[in-house]
Chains A and B, each alone.
Chain A
Amino acid sequence: DQQVKQNSPSLSVQEGRISILNCDYTNSMFDYFLWYKKYPAEGPTFLISISSIKDKNEDGRFTVFLNKSAKHLSLHIVPSQPGDSAVYFCAASDGFSGGYNKLIFGAGTRLAVHP
């Protein structure tokens, strides 16, 4: 039972354009969402997060949008750069694990940014 779904396994974008990565979730108890970025042979690194009380969070070129009614979030990267080429994981947590990071991850989307 996949509670966090990333239905696009891969995405190819031209340098300078916008990259939009999508994520859907099924558990309405999730109240905190994160995006992680992963390069080959490395661990995931935290990118950006959003609380369920917000619908948008921005950090430089990265913006995460949350649509709670649709149980959908997206990550926008503008402008996309070749160094952004990586696998992006969407993750979610609820408030029932206390303050612990019991994250539920999606399967990831591989982004390729080409010149």
Chain B
Amino acid sequence: DTAVSQTPKYLVTQMGNDKSIKCEQNLGHDTMYWYKQDSKKFLKIMFSYNNKELIINETVPNRFSPKSPDKAHLNLHINSLELGDSAVYFCASSQEGDRVNSPLHFGNGTRLTVT
């Protein structure tokens, strides 16, 4: 009955490879997010989708491409992986227009290690 689930939990890959992280939520929320926790432990927003439409796109390299096939899924595809992409990536969801009553619900994260 996991609310926000991400796969895989761990991902180890070599520089230059392309990889994807999948996220699904069963909370009925219409907005999903990707956050990145870097080595300094800050959580920073990368993207947000509302009903499959991109609404927030922070300064993220073009190698990162989110895909939302429906409002319950938001996947993250990363091309040409670099060492600096190593981080923990968190998926989250909430309900649009209700940041007070609908705080972010996070998944358990995907630890990406690029060697």
Binding site for B on A (CB under 8 A): 2, 32, 34, 36, 41-46, 49, 51, 87, 89, 91, 93, 97-103, 105-108
Evaluate contact between B99 and A107: CB separation under 8 angstroms: no
Evaluate contact between B43 and A105: CB separation under 8 angstroms: yes
**Shortest CB distance A89–B (Å):** 7
Evaluate contact between A101 and B104: CB separation under 8 angstroms: yes
Q: Given A43-B108, A44-B106, A93-B99, are A101 and B43 also a contact pair (CB < 8 Å)?
A: no
**B residues less than 8 Å from A93 (CB atoms):** 99
Q: Given A43-B109, A100-B56, are A32 and B41 also a contact pair (CB < 8 Å)?
A: no
**Shortest CB distance A94–B (Å):** 10
**Shortest CB distance B100–A (Å):** 7
Evaluate contact between B105 and A99: CB separation under 8 angstroms: no
Chain B residues touching A, range = 20 to 34
Residues 80-115 of B, flagged 1 when their CB comes within 8 A of A and 0 if not, give 000000000010101011111011111111000000
Besides the known contacts A44-B90, A49-B100, 8 further A-B residue pairs in the complex with CB atoms under 8 A apart: A2-B42, A42-B109, A43-B4, A43-B92, A43-B106, A43-B109, A45-B106, A107-B41
Q: In the complex, what distance in Å separates the CA atom of A99 from the CA atom of B44?
A: 18
Evaluate contact between A32 and B106: CB separation under 8 angstroms: no
Q: Given A105-B43, A107-B40, A108-B41, are A100 and B48 also a contact pair (CB < 8 Å)?
A: yes
**B residues less than 8 Å from A2 (CB atoms):** 42
Q: In the complex, what distance in Å separates the CA atom of A29 from the CA atom of B98?
A: 18
**A residues less than 8 Å from B33 (CB atoms):** 101
Q: Is B50 an interface residue (CB 8 A)?
A: yes
Chain B residue with the shortest CB-CB distance to A41: B108
Chain A residue with the shortest CB-CB distance to B48: A100
Chain B residue with the shortest CB-CB distance to A2: B42
Q: In the complex, what distance in Å separates the CA atom of A28 from the CA atom of B94?
A: 24
**B residues less than 8 Å from A107 (CB atoms):** 40-42
